[in-house]
Amino acid sequence: MSRLKTTLMMTTTLVLLSGTCLAADVPPDEVVTTFFKTYCLRCHAAQKQEGQFRLDTLPREFVDQATAQRWGEVVFRMNSGEMPPKDEPQPKAEELGRVVDWISASIADGQATRMAGRGPVALYRLSRDEYAHTAYDLLGVHYDGKLPGALNEDPRWHGFDRIGSLLTLSPSHVDRYRRAADTVITRAFPDQTAQPVKGLRDSGVATPATENAAEVRYRDIIWSGAYAEEGGKQYDMESGGEAMRVRIRLSGLQPKGGRAPHLTVWDLTLKRSIFDEDIITPEDQPIVVEFDTTTSSFQLINAVSGFPGNGHTESNTARRFINSRQPRIGHPAGYKLFDDEGQPLFPLLLVDSIEWESVPVSEETQRKRSGIFPSVLARNAKAPTDPQELEALFGECRQSLHRFAERAWRRPVTRDEVERYVRIVQHELAAGESFGPAYRSALIAVLTSKNFYYIEEGDPTKPRDTVNDWELASRLSYFLWSSMPDDDLFAAVRGGYAEATRGL
């Protein structure tokens, strides 16, 4: 009998506790409403909206994805202690816990409905090459994602580096995308106009042996098969990552019946060739070859086999050259490079000089950057204090950011999306920053968004069987030229002409 009483008492206790837990886990709707009126609506209602957030008009329809996300933000701020603020009346822990549990349970209850109405979304992260091409087509900035410390190397599968399932995203990727965006925006919109850079490396003039002797020019000689540890010539210049135009004045001597000398310009940073060309021209008729690069250090190589180097004798062969009649001045024990008739025995490159200068901003690049940076203020100016002038400034910021985000994200953008980046400018200016750095922060944030370095197809709000015109344009452009759609393709999308290409 005693055992039966004990069992009945335990059962009754469990039932009562269960009812208490259910009542705590799922509080009545009016309890939540009372909680918000007491602790929240003073700062998040019609009269005042801290952080532009209203709770009085936030629907309690948790089957809607956007609504559920907003309620999730409320839970996060309540759990972190941000809501209510410490200078406002504080709820008891039991009150706060019951409301948070109710919101969390409501979000969980609506999850199945939300997922059932969600459309499939495919995401493809840009590869390093696609990122660089997109940055150039967007702003005319040469950014090399393969530089050491730039962007993470893309994984390969059977030789392919565009497999979407392998192009994952890690914290390291996000950090490097932020730094890459900072570099791209700073180069496109610096605080001050960059000064032109010029440089010259002349092989030199020989000092006359007597007072009446004529000057004799030296030339750097690069024999065949000359690499770094042999006869290759290294040159350094201060490019600062900007595009530089390099001009090399040289001759190329081909032995009778032999191969032509081949000039290879080797990028010592990227460890790859950036220029290749056979050079065949008489000793006394040098030519000038020209190419653009962003590297700061490169090496000239005569990429042809045929020089029988053996170490010691090779190191005693002349590296500076006057002419074929005096090939071994100062190095009599070196290799014989010419026969008695002055004909070369090996393919030889003779370098007179190397000149470089910064490439001026082209009209096409100026057009790409036009309309992105507001012209209301100078870039180093402080924000105006007059309310009307300040509103005009933010109005132009909205228009400029809208144009930039639409091109960068390759799709239409909403006012709410743009407003997030306008607030970045506002916060930076409020902190005392000048206009240029404040606005650049917003541009950097646009390029750091996943909307830039991901190609997105599909709509999370509703299922659909086909890509839309904007997605089709990106699919075509990245398939055909590994970059963003050009102006013609954007114009076709806006005009509705892309509909005719769906048959493709």
Say if residue 251's pLDDT is above 60: yes
Q: What is the pLDDT of residue 459?
A: 81
Dump pLDDT digits (tens) for 96-106: 888 888 888 88
Average pLDDT over residues 469-497: 89
Q: Can you give the three-state secondary structure of 384-447, one letter per residue?
A: CCCHHHHHHHHHHHHHHHHHHHHHHHCCCCCHHHHHHHHHHHHHHHHCCCCHHHHHHHHHHHHH
- The dotted CATH code for 198-358 is 2.60.120.260
d(CA 95, CA 98) in angstroms, rounded, equals 5
Q: Are 252 and 349 in contact (CB under 8 A)?
A: yes
Q: What is the structure's pLDDT at 109?
A: 86
pLDDT in tens, 401-430: 999 999 999 999 999 999 999 999 999 988
Placement of tokens 């799709």 in the chain: 411
Q: How many residues does the chain have?
A: 504
Q: What is the pLDDT of residue 411?
A: 94
Distance CA 80, CA 23 (A): 25
Please, which residues bridge with residue 351 across strands?
Answer: 220, 250
- On the 0-12 / 13-18 / 19+ scale of CB atoms within 10 A, 147 is middle
Q: What value does the mean pLDDT take over residues 389-403?
A: 89
Task: Report whether the peptide linkage leading into residue 84 is cis, meaning its omega lies within 30 degrees of zero.
Answer: yes
HSE on the CB side for 504, CA within 13 Å? Answer: 12
Backbone angles phi, psi at 351, to 5 degrees: -100, 125
The predicted-structure confidence for 162-204, as pLDDT tens digits, reads as follows 777 788 888 999 999 999 999 999 989 887 776 777 888 887 6
Domain residue ranges of the chain, discontinuous segments joined by + = 2-116, 120-194+362-465, 198-358
H or E stretch at 312: helix 312-315
- 194: which 2 tokens? 């960059």
Rounded to whole angstroms, the Cα distance separating 140 from 126 reads: 18
Transcribe 32-56 into DSSP letters: HHHHHHHHTTTTBSSS-BGGG--ST
- Please report the sign of the dihedral spanned by the C-alpha atoms of residue 498, residue 499, residue 500, residue 503: positive
Determine the 3-state secondary structure of 217 from DSSP: strand
Nearest alpha carbon to residue 130 among 481, 487, 408: 481
pTM of the full structure: 0.67
Instruction: Label residue 250 by pLDDT band (50, 70, 90).
Output: very high
**Chain Cα centroid distance, residue 488:** 23
Cα–Cα separations (whole angstroms), residue 366 to 196, 347, 360, 483? 17, 44, 10, 19
The DSSP code sequence of 121-157 is -EEEEPPHHHHHHHHHHHH-----TTSTTSSPPPP-B
- Is residue 120 within 8 A of residue 461, CB to CB? The reply is no
Question: Measured between alpha carbons, how far is 126 from 129 in angstroms, rounded to an integer?
Answer: 8
* Residue 439 · residue 373 · CB < 8 Å: yes
pLDDT-derived band at 338, boundaries 50, 70, 90? confident
